[in-house]
Structure 1
């Protein structure tokens, strides 16, 4: 028979073994937990890095250059139901179809004169402009503004653009007047645009309203502002010059 002392020894041994076993289990559990945690962390890090690489690779180049059309009602699209039917909007459609990274901004104001354009040019130049299309002067001519003043205002606008960013390409839209303004006035008016283009080394659109001006079916009832079809021709006249600049 086992005496009381032996029973006590066996009890103590059992208790020690039990405590050791519990500590061993706890230790193994901790080791297993950290091992899984490290694996998960590594896996998540790898996944995160992979996702980041995919995101960078898949992000398209959204940087675009800016073409700003600065003009009067011809640019603004006076009388049209949708401003996108004016030549700047048509240019944008053409550019998009070719996959070129340019955004066209319509900065036309109906009734604008060269003096009005000169007064707002600094505000317009608060944005970066890569190509500046200058279409002003027709309202000066129709109002009989002194030609020296028209020339002076256009030059001031050109100077403002150049001073802001010498790298901006300036395209000047040539204009002509109907003969009822008198031969001397209309002839001198017509020469303003090629003269300024040559003096400032600008790209020149010889006559913005070529194949539109004076053609009844391509103009609205006032005989001055182009219809949608007329605006398409204006866009072609601009594109004939602009294409070489942006390509």
Structure 2
């Protein structure tokens, strides 16, 4: 009994001297969604954006996570590169990176898009911030030649940097008008819900990998 009392007292003292240790165990995983209008939630209430719906879905599964929305409508890969450092603060546990759709719409050289995304990823890796890469596909009106140059970008970058890749961010939405806004380019609230449902397993794996790296 004396041993148990001493042990209990020792534990209390340790906790009092090292509160940060206890707090660290309770800290939620901090993610940032860096992207364009598809990430930002174009014309949708903030609570209906991809990051908001994804956070809610993960919390419903019992995962302690917060996801900051750093999506900017109209952003290109070059714009994302220019703001990557200040959009993702130190201490971020992981980034969900989704950029390139506006590059394709504007006919930006796929080589330039790949160069910019490569620089964004390298910058995060230098800061020890893991990246989950969301793939984008060229719209049909850009033609087959452009698509052949643009679409493989994400797989190459994932292989080069050892990243987890979600192949197509708009999977399940792009051909379904009922899940799109009137512009037939952006998802509506139901469309975002489909994107979240399809991508959640990949995000869960990403979060678990972050936890393993911290051990």
Q: Same fold (TM over 0.5)?
A: yes
Please give the root-mean-square deviation of Cα atoms over the aligned residues, in Å. Answer: 2.0
Query: In the TM superposition, what is the alpha-carbon distance from 1:89 to its structure 2 partner?
Result: 0.6
**Superposed counterparts of 1:177-188, under 5 Å:** 177-188=138-149
Is the 8 Å Cα contact of residues 73 and 110 (structure 1) preserved in structure 2? yes
1:173 to 131, 134, 144: 134
Matched residues, number: 190
Residue 107 (structure 2) pairs with residue 144 (structure 1): yes
How does the TM-score come out when normalised to structure 1?
0.72
2:166 to 202, 205, 228: 205
Residue 215 (structure 2) pairs with residue 219 (structure 1): no
Query: In the TM superposition, what is the alpha-carbon distance from 1:222 to its structure 2 partner?
Result: 0.5
Q: Which has the higher contact order (CA 8 A, sep 6+)?
A: 2
Is the 8 Å Cα contact of residues 218 and 230 (structure 1) preserved in structure 2? yes
Residue 88 (structure 2) pairs with residue 125 (structure 1): yes
Residue 43 (structure 2) pairs with residue 79 (structure 1): yes
Q: Which digits, 9 at most, give the CA deviation of each residue in 1:59-108, with x for residues without a partner?
A: 9864112111100000000011x112111111111122222221111110
| Other-structure match for 2:66 | 103
Is the 8 Å Cα contact of residues 125 and 164 (structure 1) preserved in structure 2? no
Q: Which digits, 9 at most, give the CA deviation of each residue in 1:4-36, with x for residues without a partner?
A: xxxxxxxxxxxxxxxxxxxxxxxxxxxxxxxxx
Is the 8 Å Cα contact of residues 176 and 190 (structure 1) preserved in structure 2? yes
How does the TM-score come out when normalised to structure 2?
0.83
Give the Cα–Cα distance (whole angstroms) in 2 for the partners of residues 179 and 125 of structure 1: 32
1:239 to 200, 205, 208: 200
What SS does the aligned partner of 1:69 have? Answer: strand
Is the 8 Å Cα contact of residues 208 and 237 (structure 1) preserved in structure 2? no
Flag as ranges the 4+ runs of structure 1 deviating above 3 A. 59-62
Give the Cα–Cα distance (whole angstroms) in 2 for the partners of residues 199 and 62 of structure 1: 34
Change (3 A) 1:178 1:125: closer
Gaps of 5+ in 2: 1-11, 209-215
Give the Cα–Cα distance (whole angstroms) in 1 for the partners of residues 89 and 178 of structure 2: 39
Larger Rg: 1
1:92 to 55, 74, 87: 55
What SS does the aligned partner of 2:151 have? Answer: helix
